[in-house]
Structure 1
Amino acid sequence: MTNQEAKWILEAEIEKKKKSIGNESNFLRELTDDRSVLMYIEILQSEGKPLPAGSGYDSYTEWKTQIEKEIKSGETSLVRIETERAELRAFEFFVENAPLVDSPSEA
């Protein structure tokens, strides 16, 4: 593969990375909401209140388990975004700095 071919591939990947990183604020909002719901569940449960009508869950444990999974998923997404930021920097550096003509040893 030539540097030019690699640059074309990475330019497309750069756009994908930027779009994915752009979703970070959505993940942060969802994570904040999920953590608030988890606190709400814990308050209701500690006060011995019944599940809210129409909650869709059979128990507080089931509800908490689902919210904890969503929190874990959101945290994992934020870690992935940090990795994508590093990849983006590397891809942009290559695209900006790699020579268009490959050296004879690379051909």
Structure 2
Amino acid sequence: MSSQNFKQLKPFFSILIVIFTLFSIVFLQMEERRMGYSVLKLTREHKKVWEEKRTKEISLAKITRPQLLDSVAQQKFTLKKVQANQIIHLTGPLASEMNTVAEKGIAKKDL
């Protein structure tokens, strides 16, 4: 290729570079817009899932209210409220008794 041929092709190459640059700019703007829509869609989906989680937490809190559980236990399962004389208090060995047990060599499994 001679320098004369190259000089004739210079305007063609410069126009190709300008066209390629413009197409690149348009492509990048379209990608930016597409990514913006993707982010918007994900944001809406996140908000929807968060609201659904919040409503489920509220409904769980309503269902597990002590008063509701108590009324369901009394109505469906015919359970009665606990009275003071029905409670059994279990106490473990005192610390002083544990020391004597350790001194005598009694294993924990024997307790």
TM-score w.r.t. the length of structure 2 is: 0.36
Instruction: Tell which structure's C-alpha radius of gyration is larger.
Output: 2
Q: Using CA pairs below 8 Å that are at least 6 residues apart, which structure has the higher relative contact order?
A: 1
TM-score w.r.t. the length of structure 1 is: 0.37
